[in-house]
């Protein structure tokens, strides 16, 4: 297994769905409580789920097999170890640099 990629197991995917829902649950049907509500509860739940999947994958790549994602971690608290993890659907940051480096080394 590569340290630069990780495929979640079905159990980890189910855990991510559960935690993603729990992270959005306080905001369900309460647009005044969530400044990003304009995208809707389903979209926000999906975003939380993808973020949890990212946290699990990052932890596994670090060898943290006992990592369990939290529900009420605030922005000032790290998600995995000492790291704050972010999900993006865009090719940006380190991932793009790694792909660019790999492409340059093969040409």
- pLDDT at 13 > cutoff 60: yes
Please tell me the distance from the alpha carbon of residue 85 to that of residue 97, in angstroms, as a whole number: 18
Residue 3 burial (10 A CB sphere; 0-12, 13-18, 19+): exposed
User: Does 47 or 96 have the greater pLDDT score?
Assistant: 47
pLDDT at 16: 96
Looking up tokens 């790694």, which residue turns up?
Answer: 98
- pTM given for the model: 0.74
Rounded CA gap, 44 and 41, in Å? 5
């Amino acid at each position: 297994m590569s340290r630069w990629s990780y495929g979640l197991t079905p159990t980890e995917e189910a855990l991510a769905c559960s935690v993603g829902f729990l992270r959005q649950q306080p905001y369900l049907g309460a647009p005044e409580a969530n400044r990003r509500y304009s995208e809707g509860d389903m979209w926000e739940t999906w975003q939380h789920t993808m973020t949890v999947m990212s946290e699990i994958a990052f932890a596994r790549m670090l060898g943290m097999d006992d990592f369990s994602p939290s529900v009420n971690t605030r922005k000032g608290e790290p998600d995995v170890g000492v790291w704050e993890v972010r999900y993006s659907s865009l090719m940006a940051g380190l991932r793009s640099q790694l792909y660019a480096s790999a492409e340059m080394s093969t040409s």
